[in-house]
A and B are shown apart, each in its own frame.
Chain A
Amino acid sequence: MTHCLIEVRDLEVRFPIKIGGLFRSQTLELRAVDKVSFDINRGETVGLVGESGSGKTTVGRAILRAIDPTAGKVLYHGPPPGTQDTNSGALGEARRKADKIFESGPVELSALSGEALRRFRPRMSLVFQDPYSSLNPRMTVRDIIAEPLVAGGLLTDRQAIDERVREIAARCKLNLEHLRRFPHAFSGGQRQRICIARALVSRPDFVVCDESVSALDVSIQAEIVNLLKDLQEEMGVAFLFIAHDLSVVAQISHRVAVLYVGSFVEYAPTRALFFQPRHPYTHALLSAIPQTDPDSDFQPIRLQGEIPNPLAAPEGCRFHTRCPYAKPRCSEVVPEWREIAPDHYVACHYTEDFDFARGS
């Protein structure tokens, strides 16, 4: 039984951009994210892929309210009946108390502010790309991992905090004797495990992993991917997994969304997206993954030109300037976001005309 955790509806993020000099300055509007809608279920991993500048990070941060969305709604569902946090101990108690916020139905995250938002934050978390710059060099590993509990006001008792930190550190396969050390003593893979422990210490339902394995070597990357999968199974946490490496995304995600210049072009279960893509952009993106098999017929589809400047995003379908199948209608009408097969969403006028499927 799947339970919806987060509903994103028509999410929009616009940034004002000042150009020009002192006297002739002009404010343009950059639409970083344009009318994005999707759901994330409890305990599910949703992959988010797209080229740099497509708005992947902005989508993640807007859901977390690290950036305020300009328009649209983010609905956060409470635990379904009968599945409340049953953990004993101070953290379980604190969580049950905090869950009272869901008594009147799902919370509109985009409308929270001030103290209510701060109280809500421990439910969500973030793991960054660079494990070197995301750990404070002057804090011990124990204090780094404990920070979300302290900042979110979940636990105040020192002993309870210590207990929880040790528990999550052990789960993230950190050596408990290292908790008193400072981050500089650790390798990249170990640092990323510290970041993951910090993200999960408050027992969140939702974690955004923003390129969390991109800076790691393949072997360590494999280790971290396995760890994230194990932790998800144990704790039922949902991940929004942002990455530009498509094979890693395929490995970890249940569903994958493809972004192009701020809007979704396709959202589907992983297998469907990778083996039966329905949007020309997804198809081109997949064809560009280098294959390890030296005999594979590596023929990336050459997209014309560059990814458009989001300040001057094309009219109609944003991909029409580079799409090999573009027709006149594509430059005039914005394609509708529609479900063309169960759970398979595409924004393309002519998707029915394409067959990009390949043998699995």
Chain B
Amino acid sequence: MADTILTVEGLSVSFRTDEGLITPVQGVNFQVARGRTLGLVGESGSGKSVSTKAIMRLLPGSSSLSPETRMTYRAKSGQEVKIDSLVQRSKALRQLRGGEIGMIFQEPMASFSPVYTIGNQMMESIHLHRGLKRKEARALAVEMLAKVGMSRPEARVDQYAHELSGGMRQRAMIALALSAGPALLIADEPTTALDVTIQAQVLELMDGLQRDLGMAMIFITHDLGVIAQIADEVAVMYLGSIVERGPAKQVIKAPKHPYTQGLLEAIPSLDRLDARLRPVPGDIPSPTERPSGCAFHTRCAKAIAGLCSGEAPPEQQVGPDHAVRCWLYDARGAAAA
């Protein structure tokens, strides 16, 4: 990709738990290009949120990054930042969080402090990252609130999070993240808790803001319909690995990995009202009992006996920028089948 803003290579995250060491993210690679949107899809427990929290270095103390992990971010100044080697509580990390990479979460009510006004929290971020004085910071906060489509921004700036409706709160959350002027925005299920009408408004808003500000975005969701609308590239995660990645249109129209195919078939569609839904068979295994070989082989209808359960498949190019981890697309898999 020409203008890459973030490169993640070999990202593995482990947690120490009572049941031993678990590794919810294993060997994840992806890139995000300036001004583009990467969609990250997967079921709960697939490691979507853990991966993005690793980028922000927001994981708790019981976790560790593997030594092979490389995360390189190209800052607004053009300087390269090695995120994996930043020290917690360092100035460089504080500048990265918010100022370079912004983040919005699923539940806006839990992300705002209930005891400070929306404007107060925005001004704090603007002051820290942009170094503006009180008055200018307030003016910018009002401007940002107006930009995300809030009516009467001069009044809203002095309101508390609980005074806003769900959709307005999510808009305020976006305004808060954008007020520090990040070049990359990580959005973790930002529309999941919203009604469809509000979701459509928020998606449209984010799409427009991205175009205006030339910002890159990582958009986490489990809704493939949302991905189809907003993402340029998509990465599908299963049990901590990316099983397929490529241009969003191509992956959704012609999915290669059996898991992606299964996910798309499980979605109810108005075009297939009378047909029975087809769930992916079986349950997602728990991270402590990760299957050997290809992690999906226990649920895969096309698993090749002897091969898939034994060895993890390497990443195969199946089209321009379209890669899949599946033995079905490999010479050895074809020979074994």
Chain A residues within 8 Å of B, Cβ to Cβ? 51-52, 187-190, 217-223, 225-226, 229, 244-248, 250-251, 270-271, 274, 284-285, 287-296, 298, 300, 302-303, 305-307
- Are B223's CB and A290's CB within 8 A? yes
B10 CB to nearest chain A CB (Å): 27
Within 8 A of A (CB), among B238-274: 248-249, 252-253, 262-264, 266-270, 273
B75 on the A face (CB < 8 A): no
A253 CB to nearest chain B CB (Å): 10
- Are B277's CB and A300's CB within 8 A? no
- Are A225's CB and B196's CB within 8 A? no
When C-beta atoms are compared, the residue in chain B nearest to A247 turns out to be B268
Number of CB contacts from chain A to chain B under 8 A:
122
Q: Please, which residues of chain B bring their CB within 8 A of the CB of A302?
A: 200-201, 204
When C-beta atoms are compared, the residue in chain A nearest to B226 turns out to be A290
A251-B273, A292-B252, A294-B228 known; A222 vs B199 contact (CB < 8 Å): no
When C-beta atoms are compared, the residue in chain A nearest to B231 turns out to be A294
B149 CB to nearest chain A CB (Å): 10
Interface code B27-59, partner A: CB below 8 Å = 1, 0 otherwise? 000000000000000011000000000000000
A351 CB to nearest chain B CB (Å): 20
Other contacts beyond A226-B279, A245-B196, A290-B228: 6, CB < 8 A: A187-B286, A244-B196, A247-B267, A288-B196, A288-B199, A307-B165
Bound together, the chains give a CA A101 to CA B283 distance in angstroms of 44
- Are A294's CB and B279's CB within 8 A? no
Bound together, the chains give a CA A287 to CA B174 distance in angstroms of 24
Interface code B273-303, partner A: CB below 8 Å = 1, 0 otherwise? 1001111100110100000000000000000
CB-contact partner of B263 in A189, A219, A248, A287, under 8 A: A219
B224 on the A face (CB < 8 A): yes
A291-B225, A294-B228, A294-B253 known; A51 vs B201 contact (CB < 8 Å): no
B94 on the A face (CB < 8 A): no
- Are A219's CB and B225's CB within 8 A? no
A225-B277, A226-B279 known; A219 vs B270 contact (CB < 8 Å): no
A246 CB to nearest chain B CB (Å): 7
- Are B197's CB and A292's CB within 8 A? no
A-B contact pairs, 12 of them (CB 8 A): A187-B283, A218-B43, A218-B266, A219-B266, A223-B279, A250-B270, A290-B203, A290-B228, A292-B228, A293-B228, A294-B248, A295-B253
When C-beta atoms are compared, the residue in chain B nearest to A216 turns out to be B44
When C-beta atoms are compared, the residue in chain B nearest to A229 turns out to be B276
Most buried by A among B44, B223, B225, B278: B225
- Are A52's CB and B166's CB within 8 A? yes
When C-beta atoms are compared, the residue in chain A nearest to B285 turns out to be A187
B167 on the A face (CB < 8 A): yes
- Are B200's CB and A247's CB within 8 A? no
A217-B44, A247-B269 known; A290 vs B277 contact (CB < 8 Å): no
Chain B residues within 8 Å of A, Cβ to Cβ? 43-44, 151, 165-168, 195-201, 203-204, 222-226, 228-229, 248-249, 252-253, 262-264, 266-270, 273, 276-280, 283-284, 286
- Are B166's CB and A270's CB within 8 A? no
Bound together, the chains give a CA A209 to CA B44 distance in angstroms of 22
Bound together, the chains give a CA A290 to CA B203 distance in angstroms of 10
A226-B276, A248-B268 known; A288 vs B200 contact (CB < 8 Å): yes
Bound together, the chains give a CA A288 to CA B200 distance in angstroms of 6
When C-beta atoms are compared, the residue in chain A nearest to B44 turns out to be A217
- Are B197's CB and A222's CB within 8 A? no
Bound together, the chains give a CA A218 to CA B278 distance in angstroms of 10
Q: Please, which residues of chain A bring their CB within 8 A of the CB of B268?
A: 222, 225, 247-248, 250-251
- Are B201's CB and A292's CB within 8 A? no
- Are A51's CB and B195's CB within 8 A? yes
Most buried by A among B166, B204, B266: B266
- Are A189's CB and B199's CB within 8 A? no
- Are A51's CB and B276's CB within 8 A? no
Most buried by A among B44, B197, B248, B264: B197
Q: Please, which residues of chain B bring their CB within 8 A of the CB of A300?
A: 197, 200-201, 204
Q: Please, which residues of chain B bring their CB within 8 A of the CB of A303?
A: 197
- Are A274's CB and B269's CB within 8 A? no
Q: Please, which residues of chain B bring their CB within 8 A of the CB of A244?
A: 195-196
A335 CB to nearest chain B CB (Å): 21
B217 CB to nearest chain A CB (Å): 16
- Are B270's CB and A274's CB within 8 A? yes
Q: Please, which residues of chain A bring their CB within 8 A of the CB of B44?
A: 188, 217
- Are B273's CB and A270's CB within 8 A? yes
Q: Please, which residues of chain A bring their CB within 8 A of the CB of B284?
A: 187, 217
A109 CB to nearest chain B CB (Å): 30
B3 CB to nearest chain A CB (Å): 23
Most buried by A among B166, B224, B252, B267: B267
- Are B277's CB and A271's CB within 8 A? no
A247-B270, A288-B197, A290-B226 known; A306 vs B43 contact (CB < 8 Å): no
Q: Please, which residues of chain B bring their CB within 8 A of the CB of A291?
A: 225, 228-229
Bound together, the chains give a CA A226 to CA B276 distance in angstroms of 7
Bound together, the chains give a CA A306 to CA B248 distance in angstroms of 32
Q: Please, which residues of chain A bring their CB within 8 A of the CB of B248?
A: 294
